[in-house]
Amino acid sequence: MRRVTIKEVAALAGVSPSTVSRVLNGKDAGHMRPETKERVLAAIRALDYTPAKAARTLRKRKTGVIAILLPDISNPFFSLLARGVASVAFEHGLSTLICDSDNSLEKETQFWDILLAEGVDGVVFVPVGEPDGAKVEKLRRRGVEMVIADRRVPGFPVVEADNRGGSASLAELLVSLGYRRIAYLAGPKGVSTAEDRLEGFQVALEKHGLSPTVVRCGDFTYESGYSLAREVLSQHPGMEAIVAGNDLMAIGALRAAEDLGIAVPRKLGIAGFDHVFPADLVRPRLTTVAVPAYQMGKEAMRLLIEGAKAPERKVLPVKPILGESTPRR
């Protein structure tokens, strides 16, 4: 890749490289002859010069690149979150490296080394499960800033949704609609999002002297929602509602009910969490809890920029959405 260098620009403008560098970095405040500056700018334009970031990085020890490491970019929740991160990064002149760990802890671990080599200035991290402690510790020692999004990891700043609260409201809603026999299809163990939602739900039910009739664990995918729901519905014929840890699983459950000939919502209520795009596409429309994924990405990136001054934890409000998958009374 042939490059125009700062030297060539300097030569054309009849100045030294340092002068060009000063113009490039805005370090000419007041004390540079406007004429000189103009000559430099002209040379830059003439040669269509773009400074090499690698050289700059080497010198400044800052890459101007941040990474977002997440489980699956084709999951609408995460792609929205990623857009939020990228938009704030872009505003601050930072580039965004999107790293898709493909729901694999192993791949995630490999990425830590890549990010370290890449020398990213910071990372917004959505862990697959329990992250590799040693690697993460190494990053921290090396001074790479890190903010966790959507899920908690002890000892790191985090931006998350009010999962317990949202889940509790959802439980209240279902109870008020008259549902009693409820199956809960949770997300994966060890993921705070999944656990908070389940606990929030259970605690709220207990206040009414109730508890989920069945609890099963899935992995937040459409497929796991489908198969768990199928299983639960065949084993428990009188089930009144299925509540899933996220919308994708809830939509899987909806399909399972459909395939089993169980009418939703007449015979079975279904609810999810997240309010991703597909939740409004299915019929009946999903009852769910809206989580501001895009804003979560933005907030996470903001915390990353603020660094040490930032709060250790930011909780975003959520909002229950009453769809048509849970009418009754």
Partner DNA sequence: TTGAAAGCGCTAACAG
Partner DNA sequence: CTGTTAGCGCTTTCAA
3-state secondary structure of 221: coil
Site string for a second copy, 110-149 (x = CB under 8 A): ---xx-xxxx-x----------------x--xxxx-----
Q: Which residues contact 38 (CB under 8 A, 6 or more apart)?
A: none
What one-character DSSP code corresponds to residue 232? H
Site string for DNA, 19-38 (x = CB under 7 A): xxxx-xx-xx-xxxx-xxx-
Binding partner of residue 16 among DNA, a second copy, none, CB cut-off 5 to 8 Å per kind? DNA
Residue 140 lies near DNA (rule: CB under 7 A): no
Give the number of residues in contact with a second copy, rule: CB under 8 A.
Answer: 51
What does the CA dihedral 165, 133, 185, 178 come to, rounded to 10 degrees?
-10
* Cβ-based nearer residue to DNA, 55 or 263: 55
**CA 252/CA 257 separation, integer angstroms:** 9
Q: Hey, what are 245's tokens?
A: 């840890």
Helix 105-118 to helix 133-141 angle (10° resolution) is 10
Q: Which residues contact 127 (CB under 8 A, 6 or more apart)?
A: 71, 108, 148, 151, 153, 191
Binding partner of residue 113 among a second copy, DNA, none, CB cut-off 5 to 8 Å per kind? a second copy
Which residues here bind a second copy, judged by CB under 8 A?
A: 1-3, 48, 50-55, 57-58, 61-63, 73-74, 76, 79-80, 82-83, 86-87, 90, 95-100, 102, 107, 113-114, 116-119, 121, 138, 141-144, 251, 277-278, 281-283
Which residues here bind DNA, judged by CB under 7 A?
A: 3, 5-7, 14-22, 24-25, 27-28, 30-33, 35-37, 51-52, 55-56, 58-61
